[in-house]
Amino acid sequence: MSGILTTLKCSSRFGNIGILSRFLNTQSHFQNINSNHHNQPIYCKRQQLFEDITSRRYLHISHAAMAKTALVVITTGSEEMEAVTPIDTLRRAGVEVTVAGLNSAGDTVMSRNVIFGAEKSLKDALASAPFDAIILPGGLKGAEAFVESEELGEVLKEQEKAGRLVAAVCAAPTALYRRDLFLGKSLTSHPVVQERMSAGGKYQYKEDRVVIDGNLITSRGPGTALEWSLAITAYLLGQEKADDLSKAMLAK
């Protein structure tokens, strides 16, 4: 039998089976030459072999493919501490965070006149959807804009439907109330919107600093922003990661 002898590595349901040899111009099957697998025959298609030779994506899972993603939405009047705290905390933890302006990218004047830079508009950021978490900082004026945004409303609706995380703090939970999202769940908010959030029996209102109910995490205000951010971290990456981060940040 003539042909070009090629040596390569291959994987199968039996695990990594070592170096295999084949003649490229034949249809014959391969024999595992790793004695740990008792010479189990392995069949590989030509196309799979070609891809294995030309790309490593079947042998290695990249960090980018594994990284969790979060979308933080800001707008004019959003609260500074409630925005920067989850952005900073999650990036420290290795989450890929996108900061999107509700209506546009660029400079955004926050509730205390601190200027934030939105990396993308919400519309442009959604080209990278879905996100593992969508995060809404508070601030009364910013929350009002969230309530009125039909685009954000559809994004939140889809996030809930898919079972992915939504995190809202301060007055931002009113954007959920407006669209009857997460009905029946436990949540909290800033006291200034407590009466509104309690109306109609839509939610089980709590006064805890951070309330976690499945894929909804809510909190009360600027003073609870770090606890809220660490709760988001724990949801995405596990409690051990959140505890390590909390220790490194001297949060406790």
Q: What residues are labeled active site?
A: 170, 190
In angstroms, the Cα distances linking 202 to 174, 186, 206, 207, 214 are: 12, 9, 13, 16, 16
Torsion of CA 181, 74, 103, 215, to 10 degrees: -30
Q: Which residues contact 153 (CB under 8 A, 6 or more apart)?
A: 175, 178, 179
- Tallying the residues shown for the chain, one arrives at 252
Q: Identify residue 242 by its one-letter amino acid code.
A: A
Residue 150 to residue 165: CA distance in whole angstroms: 19
Question: Which SS3 state, helix, strand or coil, does residue 81 take?
Answer: helix
Residues paired with 8 in a beta bridge: 20
For 146, what's the count of Cα atoms within 13 Å in the CB-facing half-sphere? Answer: 32
Strands of 53-138, DSSP E:
69-74, 96-101, 106-109, 115-118, 120-121, 133-136
